[in-house]
Structure 1
Amino acid sequence: MNTEKAYAAYLDQQDELANFRDEFYIPENTIYMDGNSLGLLSKRAEQAVDDMMASWKTYAIDGWTNGNEPWYYLSEKLGAVTAPLIGASPEEVVVTGSTTTNLHQLTASFYQPEGKKTKILADTLNFPSDIYALKSQLKLKGYNPDEHLIQVESNDGNMLDTKDIIDAMADDVALIVLPGVLYRSGQVLDMKTLTDEAHRRGIPIGFDLCHSIGSVPHQLSKWGVDFAFWCTYKHLNAGPGSVAGLYVNRKHFGREPGLAGWFSSSKEKQFDMEHTLTPAQDAGTYQIGTPHLLSAAPLLGSLEMFAQAGIDNIRQKSLQLTQYFIELLETELTDYGFTIANPRKTEERGGHIYLEHPDAARICKALKADGVVPDFRKPNGIRLAPVALYNSFTEVWKTIQILKTIMNEERYKQYENERGIIA
């Protein structure tokens, strides 16, 4: 393993995506390794917001149908531009809502308990908000979550076994909701196999793509996935609170959404103002309210870069960055008590590195004090996300050197080993 800085510089020289770094506002004197929590602002996203404000200023209410980006069709347009990132057709994707409101919508639409099929299958490693939503939906249907929410256990606290998930697909399961990538360890689940096995048993299945969209390619339509949902402020770099997205396989088109609303309507019928909904004949019917235009606008700029870079190229660089990270960790930091807890196989590894250490919280504080922005996950996890569009191999090398100095000099001991209010 070549641990010299010059080798990192060589890798940067070979990087075909390196120029995209200039598109982003990089905090001064900072190595930003937290793009899997909040992506950085790009100049194109900033311009797209300015353009949306100008449209409002210029057209007022006529902005719904006039201008370069008519607001009435923006959610569908952004869905179409997002579709290649997840292997979907344009009409199967819409940008709307938030991660959790979209999960509520999709669960309300696809969770149809009948007879003994009353349970929802999830897992113990998923992000808490998904579990909150699923429990809430069970209660709304009159079921006790303690009895009707099945959560597949992990054997090691970090990863899920595909066989264990399949074994839990029992006759009483009415719906399956799983993460595409586990938010702690970065494990990529085998979505194709899980979808095939769910459908063999007549169970609809959906995936949370928050930690995979924009860093890992998917083929949702080809795999036959029923639905998916995601945020856009992580790898898609659309900003805090930016509008989320959802996918619904075309085989489900024509059905009424579980939670109907103003924008669930067919666009041609919406302003007939009838009290009987005529559902849109695509994923757009799973919208509920009016598009959040100013929070969706950054995607116009950000997704343009993804179209230019190509998700396969992004994935290739992402894997190279994380592999380089792992090799440096194994070479430079073997004696400091770190455990590399993310998958080693490339096909199973998402876009971030996950380290475990008993002093993880205080190490994260020390890293930040030395100019590296990491992410702490309770109880003892450190996430480091080298993002393909704006992080470099040299930054990975520098992060390892800074971390090594922190451990050598025990700088972390000046901090409490407790997380901050936001971790």
Structure 2
Amino acid sequence: MVKNLTISYAKKLDELDELKIYRDEFYVQPGVLYMDGNSLGLLSKRAEQSLLTILDSWKRYGIDGWTRGEHPWFYFSETLSEMCAPLIGALKEEVIITGSTTTNLHQLIASFYKPTGERTKILADELNFPSDLYAISSQLSMHGFDAENHMKFVKSRDGYMLTEEDIIEAMTDDVALIVLPSVLYRSGQIVKMKTLTHAAHERNILIGFDLCHSIGSVPHQLDEWDVDFAFWCNYKHLNGGPGSTGGLYVNRRHFGQKPGLAGWFGSDKEKQFDLATEFTPASDASAYQIGTPNILSAAPLYGSLEMFAEVGMDAIRNKSLKLTDYMIFLIEEELSEYQFTIANPLDHDRRGGHIYLVHEEAARICKALKEHQVIPDFRSPNGIRLAPIALYNSFQDVWKTVQILKKIMKEELYKKYENKRDVIA
């Protein structure tokens, strides 16, 4: 089937889509083209049901919900961890659903950052999501180091992407720890985690990755790549809901060392309710929990992960690439005269799950898209992220989105808006 610009071609692609049945699993609002699933995934009916199930156990059992009901809360984090582990190529014991992205990063840096002698610096990149950099900076301060001299940045050559050569060159003898994104949140570039991990270990440096923009969109093999640690949120591609409980991974090679930040839910479960004054950590990634699990914030994830188990990451990735390929084709053909720059990688092995368009009027364009029932994501200063999601977006969604964007540009409908972001972009 030869690519063309007609809606009938998009309909044909939808007819051939093996995952189209999952669209009905989600609350897709009529007339709305939701292209922001890389910021907040849509609610699924299964996620809603798993939340109601947990609420019902609270209603029925009160405090006994910790050990009774369909999903006893005392073991719920471990239940979710086992479901999540295949998405990142890990053993269930190496994963724990807990905390949030930034609190988990704090825990992991506190656990694995061990400055000695000249090795005092933490290597990061200038394109990383700022919250990660804030956490790194504060952890350095707690060790008596200032971020200006001890947080080492890998620079981008073009403002959008990183090169592995530059990252590896920055792995010098003064680096004690490396924290990098798996997928850059703006451009959607996938970094070569296997290559970087191997290079770090050759230099006796521990390395971890922020998986927020890759988990649920891109397959991982963290064990095979020998990554030391990772952390992520579950509300983007995994559709766990706003503020959904996060997750972390610790390679089993590191089991047995105490977490940097101890808390009672990181205890050996057999000893937790001894309430001893001395902390006895769990023997696996569960040790990195701190406080009591946020059960209601984790509950929707159970229903969502059921679907990922059914579909498998290979099928999700295959459709995701087809959706973004199609969107890139339409943008190049339909919007060539409107000064958009496609700033994400084009190669499949480098592109994550979203498209990143750069335009000097990006903030105004996003406001116009929303008025026309297209939900994009603005990234300051001039970026538009569009994320067609494999489980609930169709090829017709992509076609309609580009047609609406073309109308906005052709008729200059964006000009009635101020070119600056709203309070929440």
TM-score (norm 1): 0.99
1:78-99: CA deviation from partner (whole Å, max 9, x where unpaired): 0110000000011100100000
The CA distance in 2 between the partners of 1:146 and 1:72, in whole Å, is 42
Query: Letter of the aligned partner of 2:416 in structure 1?
Result: Q
Q: Give 1:3 shift.
A: 0.7
Query: Letter of the aligned partner of 1:118 in structure 2?
Result: T
The aligned counterpart of 2:64 is: 62
Query: Letter of the aligned partner of 1:90 in structure 2?
Result: K
Give yes or no for the alignment of 1:85 onto 2:87.
Answer: yes
The CA distance in 2 between the partners of 1:77 and 1:228, in whole Å, is 19
Give yes or no for the alignment of 1:420 onto 2:389.
Answer: no
Query: Letter of the aligned partner of 1:255 in structure 2?
Result: Q
Query: Where in structure 1 are there 5+ consecutive unaligned residues?
Result: none
Give yes or no for the alignment of 1:353 onto 2:319.
Answer: no
1:143-173: CA deviation from partner (whole Å, max 9, x where unpaired): 0110000010000000001000000000010
Q: Give 1:216 shift.
A: 0.3
The aligned counterpart of 1:115 is: 117
Give yes or no for the alignment of 1:188 onto 2:190.
Answer: yes
Instruction: Identify the match of residue 100 of structure 1 among 99, 102, 107.
Output: 102
The CA distance in 1 between the partners of 2:31 and 2:402, in whole Å, is 16
Q: Give 1:199 shift.
A: 0.3
Query: Letter of the aligned partner of 1:77 in structure 2?
Result: T
The aligned counterpart of 2:389 is: 387
The aligned counterpart of 2:377 is: 375
The CA distance in 1 between the partners of 2:394 and 2:339, in whole Å, is 26
The CA distance in 2 between the partners of 1:41 and 1:399, in whole Å, is 21
Instruction: Identify the match of residue 219 of structure 1 among 206, 218, 221.
Output: 221
SS in 2 for 1:28: coil
The CA distance in 2 between the partners of 1:299 and 1:76, in whole Å, is 12
The aligned counterpart of 2:300 is: 298
Instruction: Identify the match of residue 22 of structure 2 among 20, 23, 28.
Output: 20
The CA distance in 1 between the partners of 2:172 and 2:372, in whole Å, is 50
Q: Give 1:58 shift.
A: 1.1
Q: Give 1:57 shift.
A: 1.1
SS in 2 for 1:348: coil
1:49-101: CA deviation from partner (whole Å, max 9, x where unpaired): 11001001111111111111111111111011000000001110010000000
The aligned counterpart of 2:55 is: 53
Q: Give 1:372 shift.
A: 0.4
The aligned counterpart of 1:134 is: 136
The aligned counterpart of 1:209 is: 211
Q: Give 1:366 shift.
A: 0.6
Q: Which runs of 4+ in 1 moved over 3 A?
A: none
The CA distance in 1 between the partners of 2:35 and 2:373, in whole Å, is 10
SS in 1 for 2:338: coil
Instruction: Identify the match of residue 322 of structure 2 among 314, 320, 323.
Output: 320
28-37 or 56-65: bigger deviation: 56-65
The CA distance in 2 between the partners of 1:186 and 1:130, in whole Å, is 17
Instruction: Identify the match of residue 364 of structure 2 among 337, 362, 365.
Output: 362
Instruction: Identify the match of residue 270 of structure 2 among 268, 271, 274.
Output: 268
The aligned counterpart of 2:233 is: 231
Query: Letter of the aligned partner of 1:102 in structure 2?
Result: N
SS in 1 for 2:336: coil
The aligned counterpart of 2:170 is: 168
59-68 or 94-103: bigger deviation: 59-68
Q: Give 1:275 shift.
A: 1.2
Q: Give 1:28 shift.
A: 2.6
1:193-217: CA deviation from partner (whole Å, max 9, x where unpaired): 0000000000000000000000000
The aligned counterpart of 2:45 is: 43
The CA distance in 2 between the partners of 1:63 and 1:360, in whole Å, is 48
Query: Letter of the aligned partner of 1:166 in structure 2?
Result: I
Q: Give 1:191 shift.
A: 0.2
Q: Give 1:29 shift.
A: 1.4
Paired positions, count: 423
SS in 2 for 1:103: helix
SS in 1 for 2:253: helix
The aligned counterpart of 2:201 is: 199
The aligned counterpart of 2:291 is: 289
